[in-house]
Structure 1
Amino acid sequence: MSDFDVTDGFRKLFLASVGAVAIGAEKSQEVVGDLVKKGELTVEQGKTLNKELSRKAKEAFDNTSDATLRSRLEAMSPEERSAYAAKVAQMSAELDSDAVKVDVEGADAPEDSAQ
């Protein structure tokens, strides 16, 4: 029993839920496409239905992600949660910093090409 890693279990659960949402979205797009081909739906109805299904799939994914994260946090001690939050904040700051660098680099490109 000591070989069981809770984090690995949560990761597998999360990946399984992502896969289920992805498969559901793919299958729904196939069904809508088939109905449009058969003439049972107009192309416009198919697009509207597909957008709605995609929105619902994204909501389901977001809800699953939140639930998985909450479960993982609940399994941690307060010290572990604090360290995890600090690590996430650091990663977020690094990503924000990278985004600013990309924006600045992208802003320089038109001036360079104009010369």
Structure 2
Amino acid sequence: MAGFEDLGEGARKIFLAGVGAIAMSADKSKEIIDDLVAKGELTVEQGKQLNTELKRKAKEATSASESDALENRIKNMSEEERAEFVKKVNAFAKQADAEDAAKDAKSAE
């Protein structure tokens, strides 16, 4: 079994693969929809609505697969690895909260 250190790289690869899939499917769907609009088989407004819906569904599917992959990875961790993972996630969350607070304070000035 791969060590805990590999989780970051694995998660990064899964994320990048998901982003790539979304980008490719969004580009291809836009191309197809634009083609249908040009042929008069769809109105421009219908094309925009369809493209928006396809992007939303692609994003939902990617998010679900990323969540499933992370869940499976966590299930395969030892108790010590899970504890270390929780510590790192908490540290990341604190850092993000501090950055958000700093942005809020700066915008309030």
Instruction: Give the TM interval when normalised to the shorter protein.
Output: 0.7 to 0.9
- Aligned-partner Cα distance in 2 for 1:58–1:11: 16
Residue of structure 2 equivalent to 1:113: none
Residue of structure 1 equivalent to 2:93: 92
Q: Kindly provide the CA deviation profile for residues 34-80 of structure 1, in whole angstroms up to 9, marking residues without a partner as x.
A: 21122211011011101110110111111011011112212211111
- Aligned-partner Cα distance in 1 for 2:97–2:20: 28
Q: 1:28-43 alignment to 2 at 5 Å?
A: 28-43=29-44
- Aligned-partner Cα distance in 2 for 1:98–1:45: 40
Aligned residue pairs, count: 105
Residue of structure 2 equivalent to 1:112: none
Relative to the length of structure 2, the TM-score reads 0.82
- More relative contact order, 1 or 2 (CA 8 Å, 6+ apart): 2
The 3-state SS of whatever aligns with 2:106 is helix
Residue of structure 2 equivalent to 1:77: 78
Residue of structure 1 equivalent to 2:56: 55
Relative to the length of structure 1, the TM-score reads 0.78
Instruction: Mark the structure with the bigger radius of gyration.
Output: 1
- Aligned-partner Cα distance in 2 for 1:33–1:80: 49
Residue segments in structure 1 that go unaligned for 5+ positions in a row: 109-115
Identity percentage of aligned residues: 47
Residue segments in structure 2 that go unaligned for 5+ positions in a row: none
> Which residue identity does 2:41 align to in structure 1?
E
Residue of structure 1 equivalent to 2:107: 106
Assess if the C-alpha contact under 8 Å between 1:10 and 1:72 holds in 2: no
Q: CA deviation at 1:10?
A: 5.6
